[in-house]
Amino acid sequence: MFIFILTKRMISMKKFVLTLFVIIFLTSCDTKPPTDPNKFVLKTGEVFVEINFSQNSNLNAEKIVQLEDFANVSCTPCLISNKIIESISRNSELGRRVNVIKFPTNFPSPVDPMYLTAKPFCDYRMSFYQILFAPTIIVDGILRPVPTDSNQIKQAIEQRLQTATNFSIAITSVVENKGLKIIMNIETSNINSTELENLKLRVALVEKEINFSTPPGSNGETKFYDVLRTLLPSNDGISLSELKGIHSFLFENVIDSTWNLENLKPIGFIQNNDTKEIVQSSVYQ
């Protein structure tokens, strides 16, 4: 009887030790993404993106409109459209709820320096929307106001501001060691919605202001705003159905030496690739 009791205790002890080992092993493993934004140190030229996608059943999101501007440094009508966009985005009440991304085109001048820097991304978006003329303005992926008509552009923005959305996107960034950390928090009212299958998330890195000492094209402009530098993680974006929870991405050698790192701004946006509607753009915090 004594031996049996001792053996039973020994078995219990073995179970206890094994259980303790498993607990220690699991708690010592880093179950978070290996690129924890609080611990991860960027190398020169790297961009780190963390996406936190969660559900908020009480979500009451404010619509943010996205304006995509296709223009060229040798496009004369672009002088008018650029002034209109600048006035709306920087000098009006609407600007608080509008994100602007300028996609340089390869026409009329094929050597627009900002186009050449971001060629694969600009080509993709021009093909995506079948852009044939500069300037062309696309509001939330679906509206095409006359680019030289300020009233039409404002009306398109105001129309989209009335659209309900099931998403909110808050984004922030910090420069570190000549690299850029981007943290994006996305909330939706129903994270299991079948709608997610058709929606793609992209992050555009724009340079808020670019100044040339002499005009890079024939229209005489030297100052340009919100110019696209790159699209992350790719032109195709990421399906929202794949992004539940926390995900981290590291991109090496993305930042070009000609960019002003301190002047970069990330813009996250969710788009239906079938209808091309942008259902939400981000708020920069």
Q: What is the pLDDT of residue 38?
A: 58
The predicted structure's pLDDT at residue 36: 58
Instruction: Summarize the confidence of residues 170-182 as an average pLDDT.
Output: 95
Give DSSP secondary structure letters for 149-191.
-HHHHHHHHHHHHT---SEEEEEEEEEETTEEEEEEEEEES-T
For residue 217, pLDDT beyond 50 = yes
What are 182-205's pLDDT values in tens digits?
A: 999 999 999 999 889 999 999 999
Q: Is 134's pLDDT higher than 70?
A: yes
Q: Using 50, 70 and 90 to split pLDDT, how confident is the model at 30?
A: very low
Pick from 189, 63, 70: nearest CA to 122: 70
Q: What confidence tens digit (pLDDT) does each residue in 234-285 have?
A: 999 999 999 989 999 999 989 998 999 999 999 999 999 999 999 999 999 9
Angle at CA of residue 115, ends 114 and 118, nearest 5°: 90
- Note whether 177 and 42 are within 8 A (CB): yes
Length of the chain, in residues: 285
Structure confidence by residue, pLDDT tens digits, 95-120: 999 999 999 999 999 999 999 999 99
- What confidence score (pLDDT) does residue 42 get? 81
Look at residues 135, 121, 276 and name the one whose alpha carbon lies nearest to residue 205. Answer: 121
More confident residue, 272 or 38: 272
What is the pLDDT averaged over residues 80-93? 95
In whole angstroms, give the CA distance from residue 148 to residue 105.
Answer: 17
Q: Could you tell me the pLDDT band of residue 142, with boundaries at 50, 70 and 90?
A: very high
| Lookup: tokens for 97 | 């709820």
Q: Give the mean pLDDT of the chain.
A: 88
CATH of domain 47-284: 3.40.30.10
